A and B are shown apart, each in its own frame.
Chain A
Amino acid sequence: MEMEDPPLDDKARRMRDLLSSFYAPDPSMSAGSQPKGASFDNIDTDSFDADQYMNLLVQKANLEGLLQRHVEMAAEIKNLDTDLQMLVYENYNKFISATDAIKRMKSNIVGMESNMEQLLDKIMSVQSRSDGVNTSLFGKREHIEKLHRTRNLLRKVQFIYDLPARLGKCIKTEAYADAVRFYTGAMPIFKAYGESSFQDCKRASEEAVVTITKNLQGKLFSDSESIQTRAEAAVLLKQLDFPVDGLKVRLFEKLEQSMGDLQVKIGDIAGALEESNDEHENNLQLGFSVPHDASVREFVEAVRAYRIIFPDSESQLIKLSEDLITKHFLTTEQYMKERVSTATFLRVLRIIWNDVLVIDEVLPEGLLHDYCFKVSQSAVKQYFSSTFSHLLQDVSDALMNVHVKPKDVSEEHHLQVALESGKNSLLKGSMDLLLGLRQLLEDNLDLLVKLRELMTDWVQAGFQQFFEALDTRFLLLSGRNKLSSQGQSPREGLQSEKVICGLVLVLAQLSVFVEQTAIPRITEARTEMAASFSGSGARGYEHGPFFLPAEICRVFRSASEKFLHHHKEPREVHMFVDLFLQELEAVGNEVKQILSQGIRKHRRSESNGSTTSSLSNPLRDDKLRRSNTQQARSQLLETHLAKLFKQKVEIFTKVEFTRESVVTTIIKLGLKSLQEFVRLQTLNRSGFQQIQLDIQFLRTPLKELAEDEAAIDFLLDEVIVGASDRCLDPTPLEPPILDKLIQAKTAETREQNSSAASSTTQQRL
């Protein structure tokens, strides 16, 4: 039913498929369709099985249906036959038309070749004719050209014959330029025929030219001629192939020589300035600067002239003047090696700047400004660094005086003296330096104005480096850097050790001084400076990555702490008590020299009022006393227990820069070291008792000396506990025996150094 009325395009499609299958190489396609097939879509496929289809149809449809199907199929087959027939006809038609087209093309091509040959012939004849014309005209043209050449030659010959006379005329009228022009024009001819036909002419004109050259040279070298003429002369000489470069070199040599003279004069001036620090100063300066100015002016004139004379010599001139400036600064630097006051330095700078200005007028392309800036930057920088290093030298000299000769008459006070002198030289030196530099900054010299920002930075950097250098110098002096300066310690031995102890304290105190006083003051001064030149200085201050007072403070604080830590007692256990006390006394003396009274009192009262010491003290003493009366072992146990319940004592606190704090820290460090040392030993009974006795004896004097009684007590106890831990037979001495022994010892000590003890107590009271 569905095939009853197949749509038209469906039919066309089938046609096309059939056609393509006909032409396709696969022959199975054409043999595919059989009349038995039913009208399903897949009847056109390759895999169509006629029997199966037939079976299916027979099973599915009734007789009527089958018959109808038969009719339909027959009609379809007929259709297909007519379609195929039509296709064959069409095909044949196309073949015929193609054959016709080929035939027509063949007939058209036949006439083309003869046409082409005709064309070639015509072109050939055109070419031969034009050649004929060309040859007939050639002879005439040649003739004309020859005539023209002859005429030119004749003219030249005429000119050359006239040349000597013309040159003579030119010399008479001093029209050298024309003369040179003529001569150079004639030169090629002379070169070619000079030997034969124009011999006389050549000789005459050469003579004339030699005269010209001489005259020109004279002009060039004579200073009296105007610059214009000299320049012209130089140009002309150059045109005459005269070795101008040689002349130039000679001239420049002359100039350089005069510059050398100038240089010496500058040196004289600087030297004179050095000497003339007194009342003659102004006159002398005036007197010296006059010839200097004159010579500079001379130089400038020369430069101007040369510039015009030799236009291509600019770079050379610039180099020369740069040399001059460099030499100026070199001389200045030479003088800077000695100590130069800022005023002198300023004056020298001013002279140089003036020179530069004058020269710059003449040589604007030289950018001498910039060059001068560059050079002067380094000079000023060097000046700064030299001033700072001088300052550093001063300070360390003041300290080294103590270091070198500790055996002075005033040994008692040498530390104090050193401290004072160190402080003074540091503060005064830096103040002077600041004042000087400020002068330098406030000067309104053009050069300096431009350098101002840089200079502020340099001052900051200079201070920064100065303090850093001071820091390392201190460290070096303190012997802390033993690693780097090893040769020192074994040679000087014990003697130097003691000196260094004192020195270390001085340095520490000086560091504190730097931290507390010097830096704020310098900063203050600097801030003033910054305010005085609005803007530029302030900028440096704000951004200034170099100058960080706080940072320096920190560095110095840590440095001084290092000094104190370094300062430790000898760790010998045996008979250490006397040594220890002596040492402490010595330290006390040294510290006393350095740290002021006022601070000390202040600290004293503070420590008395501290609650921890007053609280823990009696409690612990009580315990100890009670336990002393009891049996040995239980006493130790009790000490352990007491330690358990006691609050942890902070032993190592920050070191203050007061006498008490320093001494206390030293004592603490010493005791702690003793404790650790004892822990490493194995003691017998007498050893333990010796330690017990020593510690008991130390208790009173140490408490007098030190500030933090709780910590001292704690440490002393720790030593005893440690010793008992490490003892094979820890039987302590009975308290009465202990007391007796201590009293005996105290009496002995008093006898031994009664004077020193009394003096300390007096001072203490």
Chain B
Amino acid sequence: MQAGSSGVGYGLKYQVHLIRLSADGTELICEGLFSHPNEIWDLRSCPFDQRIFTTVYSTGESYGAAVWQIPELYGQLNSPQLERVALLDAHVSKIKCVLWWPSGRNDKLVSIDEENLFLWSLDSSKKAAQVQSKESAGTMHYLSGGAWDPHDVNSIAATCESSVQFWDLRTMTKTSSIDVSHVRTIDYDTKKDHILVTAEDETGIHIWDLRKTKVPIRELPGHTHWTWAVACNPEYDGLILSGGTDSAVNLWLAPTGSRDEITSDSGQNSLSLKVDPLVNSYTDYEDSVYGLAWSSREPWIFASLSYDGRVVVESVKPYLSRK
């Protein structure tokens, strides 16, 4: 359980925290505190090397993105410098996020800014990243985020104001889109192909089947205010976590297995959906929750990050055993 779940927090002082959950799961230990030169807007850790992560940062006027490596720690905690592996410096507009392929080793990175989509090939031994291809999303839409399909290394979903767009990385062309507005976060179901979960500002959480993009196969009410983050559990089917600006984290159980039945039901008889998809609501947060992550080692543990800089790690085991 060495560094079983390492989350990284980012705050006003522009530091990166390496956090370790102790072996018995009851204590969070801050293993390292690294200073970061700029204000961090997005942070993603590498799925195959836990010492590598990417950040998107802002220098006040402009934006930048970089790949970092956590240096070896020799007992000291006094803000050592992070080793910069590569600088993703081809962007001109506001960078939104950098994506890793979540299902294994892949030396490609995708970075999304407001107007463009970049595919980088990362060579960590030479400490360099090169733009492999680039495509403009068009001036009509501002991209706001994205997710990499864990089932298909060539497919990526990017969110913009009025839709979710799907891109093929081989040809760098847009393949399809779902019309849904104000998506904050999207997440692929890592267990089931074709299932995508979106979190929208006002209309809550939608679960889509990518083969039938006209209407969502399931709708969850989301939060009393905006739903900001959403994350599918990597192990358990239909277990979805959402965080919102109403200072709460909700745990949903919305299996999509018998989706035909569900869609036909929801159309005509809402009474039949008697099972409340909301399993639990964690409400003891002081401020809005912006970050969520499931543990990759122990899929019943999740970490959440709220605006006041607190990381809370919870286990959903009691709710799993009940179901």
Q: Which A residues contact B (CB, under 8 angstroms)?
A: 468, 471, 483-484, 486, 548, 551, 555, 565-566, 568, 648, 651-652, 669, 672-673, 675-676, 679, 682, 725, 728
Counting chain B residues whose Cβ lies within 8 A of the other chain, the interface size class is 20 to 34
- Contacts A483-B180, A651-B246, A652-B246 given: A728-B271 contact, CB under 8 Å? no
| A725 contacts B12, C-beta separation under 8 Å | yes
Q: Is the CB of A672 within 8 A of B202?
A: no
Verify B271–A555 contact, CB threshold 8 A. Answer: yes
B225 contacts across to A, CB distance below 8 A: 651-652, 669, 672-673, 676
Query: Closest 6 A-B residue pairs measured CB to CB?
Result: A652-B224, A676-B245, A672-B225, A652-B246, A551-B271, A676-B226
A675 to chain B, nearest CB (A): 8
Contacts of A728 in B (CB 8 A): 60
Chain A CB within 8 A of B269 CB: yes
Which residues on B are within 8 Å of A, measured CB to CB? 12, 58, 60, 179-180, 202, 215-216, 224-226, 245-247, 268-271, 286, 288, 307
Chain B residue nearest to A469 (CB atoms) is B268
Q: Say yes or no: A468 contacts B202, CB within 8 Å.
A: no
Q: Could you say which residues of chain A place their CB within 8 Å of the CB of B216?
A: 483
- Which chain A positions have C-beta within 8 A of B246? 651-652, 672
A673 touches B60 (CB 8 A): no
Known contacts A673-B226, A676-B226; decide if A483 and B60 are in contact (CB<8 Å). Answer: no
Residue of A nearest to B180 (CB): A483
| Chain A residues whose CB sits within 8 angstroms of the CB of B202 once the complex forms | 565-566, 568
Q: A558 to chain B: closest CB distance in Å?
A: 8
Tell me, rounded to whole Å, the shortest Cβ–Cβ distance linking B237 to chain A. Answer: 25
- Show 19 A/B contacts (Cβ-Cβ < 8 Å), sorted by A: A551-B271, A565-B202, A565-B224, A566-B202, A568-B202, A648-B286, A651-B247, A652-B224, A652-B225, A672-B225, A672-B246, A673-B225, A673-B226, A675-B245, A676-B225, A676-B288, A679-B288, A725-B12, A728-B60
How far is A672 from B288 in the complex, measured between Cα atoms in Å?
A: 10
**Complex partner residue of B60 from A486, A679, A682, CB under 8 angstroms:** A682
**Closest residue of A by beta carbon distance from B307:** A679
Once the chains are docked, how many angstroms separate the CA of A568 from the CA of B202?
9
Residues of B within 8 A of A486 (CB): 179
Cα A682 to Cα B224 in complex, Å, equals 26
Query: In the assembly, what is the distance between CA of A369 and CA of B242, in Å?
Result: 60
Known contacts A652-B224, A676-B225; 9 further A-B pairs (Cβ under 8 A) = A486-B179, A565-B202, A652-B246, A672-B225, A676-B226, A676-B288, A679-B288, A725-B12, A728-B60
Pick from A555, A565, A568, A669: contact of B270, CB under 8 Å: A555
- A673 to B246 alpha-carbon distance, docked (Å): 10
Query: Once the chains are docked, how many angstroms separate the CA of A554 from the CA of B180?
Result: 28
Cα-based distance from A148 to B34 in the complex (angstroms)? 133
User: Closest CB of chain B to A478's CB: distance in Å?
Assistant: 13
Residue of A nearest to B288 (CB): A676
Inter-chain CA distance A568–B216, complex, in Å, is 23
Question: Whole-angstrom distance between the alpha carbons of A471 and B60 in the complex?
Answer: 49
In angstroms, Cα B265 to Cα A321, docked, is 40
- Residues of A within 8 Å of B288, CB to CB, are 676, 679
A-B contact count (CB 8 A): 43
Q: Which residues of A contact B269 (CB under 8 A)?
A: 468
Which residue of A is nearest B271, CB measured? Answer: A551
Query: Least Cβ distance of B226 to chain A in Å?
Result: 6
Give every chain A residue within 8 A of B286 (Cβ-Cβ).
648
Which residues of B are found within 8 Å of A648, using beta-carbon distances?
Answer: 286
**Cβ 8 A contact of B215, one of A483, A672, A679:** A483
Q: Which residues of B contact A565 (CB under 8 A)?
A: 202, 224
Write the nearest CB–CB distance from B90 to chain A, whole angstroms. Answer: 22
The answer for the CA separation of A725 and B202 in the assembled complex, in Å, is 25
CA distance A323 to B215 in the complex (A): 45
Nearest-CB residue, chain B, relative to A566: B202
Query: Which B residues lie within 8 Å of A652 (CB)?
Result: 224-225, 246
Q: Which residue of B lies closest to A558 (CB)?
A: B221
Give the complex CA separation of A669 and B201 in angstroms: 12
Instruction: Determine the chain A residues whose CB is within 8 A of the CB of B226 once the complex forms.
Output: 673, 676
Q: Which residue of chain B lies nearest to A654 when distances are taken between CB atoms in the complex?
A: B224
Docked pose: A652 CA to B245 CA in angstroms: 11
A647 CB, nearest partner CB in chain B, Å: 11
CB distance from B95 to the nearest CB of A (A): 14
Q: Is the CB of A672 within 8 A of B270?
A: no
A673 partner residues in chain B, CB cutoff 8 A = 225-226
A484 vs B288: C-alpha distance in the bound complex, in angstroms?
Answer: 31
CA separation between A673 and B288, bound complex, in Å?
Answer: 11
CA distance A568 to B226 in the complex (A): 11
Expressed in whole angstroms, the Cα–Cα distance for A676 and B286 within the complex equals 14
**How distant is A491 from chain B, measured CB to nearest CB, in Å?**
15
A672 touches B271 (CB 8 A): no
**Minimum C-beta distance from B269 to chain A (A):** 7
Q: How far is the CA of A486 from the CA of B224 in the complex (A)?
A: 24
Closest to B226 in A: A676
Residues of A close to B180: CB separation below 8 A: 483
In the assembled complex, the Cα of A471 lies from the Cα of B246 at a distance in Å of: 27
Once bound together, how far apart are the Cα atoms of A188 and B215, in whole Å?
Answer: 80
Q: How far, in Å, is B252 (CB) from chain A's closest CB? A: 16
A725 and B287 alpha carbons, distance in the complex (Å): 14
Which residue in chain A gives the minimum CB-CB distance to B216? A483
Nearest A residue to B215 by beta-carbon distance? A483
Residues of B within 8 A of A568 (CB): 202
Residues of B within 8 A of A468 (CB): 268-271
Kindly state the separation between the CA atoms of A673 and B179 in the bound complex, as whole angstroms: 23
Q: Are A672 and B12 neighbours in the complex by a CB distance under 8 Å?
A: no
How far in angstroms is the closest Cβ of chain A from B29? 24
Residues of B within 8 A of A551 (CB): 271
Chain A residues lying within 8 Å of B270, measured Cβ to Cβ, are: 468, 471, 555
> Distance in Å from the Cβ of B286 to the closest Cβ of chain A?
6
Chain A neighbourhood of B12, CB < 8 A: 725
Nearest neighbor of A722 in chain B, beta-carbon distance: B307
Note all chain A residues with C-beta closer than 8 A to B245: 672, 675-676
B224 touches A484 (CB 8 A): no
Do B271 and A484 touch (CB < 8 A)? no
Closest-by-CB residue of B relative to A725 is B12
Interface centre among A551, A672, A725 (most CB of B within 10 A): A672
Tell which of B179, B202, B225, B247 has the most Cβ of chain A within 10 Å. B225
Cα(A568)–Cα(B269), bound, Å: 28
Query: A555 contacts which chain B residues (CB < 8 A)?
Result: 270-271
